[in-house]
Amino acid sequence: MRLRNIPGAGEVVANSPFCIQNPTEHKSKWSDVFGNSNPIHIEIGMGKGRFIMDLAALNPNINYIGIERYTSVLLRAVQKMEENPLPNVRFLCVDAATLPEIFAAEEINRIYLNFSDPWPKDRHARRRLTSSEFLARYDQFLAKNGRLEFKTDNVGLFDFSLEEINNSDVWHIDVHTYDLHEDPMLNFGNVMTEYEEKFSSKGNPICKLIASR
């Protein structure tokens, strides 16, 4: 489905105090952006921002950075922040491939990937956010004891992700499930995204994995 362009979205994002411009300038200095040394968690492909903002409200002692490539999508998160500002949330409008240029080694404590684009064609596999190429990028800035959490309703993408991680010499699967909402341990404290609520209401099981190094 083609993403609908929203006129003026780019200007709003560029002028929002919640959106960090020129993020490479803050590499190794993200604690200064938040004014504290709290752990930093990021969500890559955050969509309209519900997940990361709900997490931030529940965990005021953790800083969150939401990353979204498209201004027309990020606009919705900015509008939500204007209605209910959270001091521990910032947004970036960047391509995820550039993240090693933005975050220094061990600067990020957790990575969330939620309902990422499955890029179903084989020739586009490297674009998937759980591909070996992206896992290598995350390794450059995730803390040694950090972890990656991934949720999707796409079983094909989930199987691909399990295989990529299992084939890695660096990463390993800590735990995974093909039906999150029926797994008492993994579902405990689960914060849902907009897509998760939509898909699960239709009876679609949600897959989740947690990986570390």
Contact (CB, 8 A) for 40 and 63 = yes
Other beta carbons less than 10 A from residue 169's beta carbon: 6
Q: Work out whether the CA dihedral 91, 95, 101, 107 comes out positive or negative.
A: positive
For residue 212, give every residue at least 6 positions away whose Cβ sits within 8 Å of its Cβ, in sequence order, or none. Answer: 145, 146, 147, 148, 171, 172, 174
Q: Of the listed 32, 54, 95, 117, which one is catalytic? A: 117
Write the DSSP symbol of residue 5. P
Contact (CB, 8 A) for 59 and 81 = no
Query: Is 183 a known active-site residue?
Result: no
Q: From CA 102, how far away is CA 98, in angstroms rounded? A: 7
Residues belonging to the active site: 117
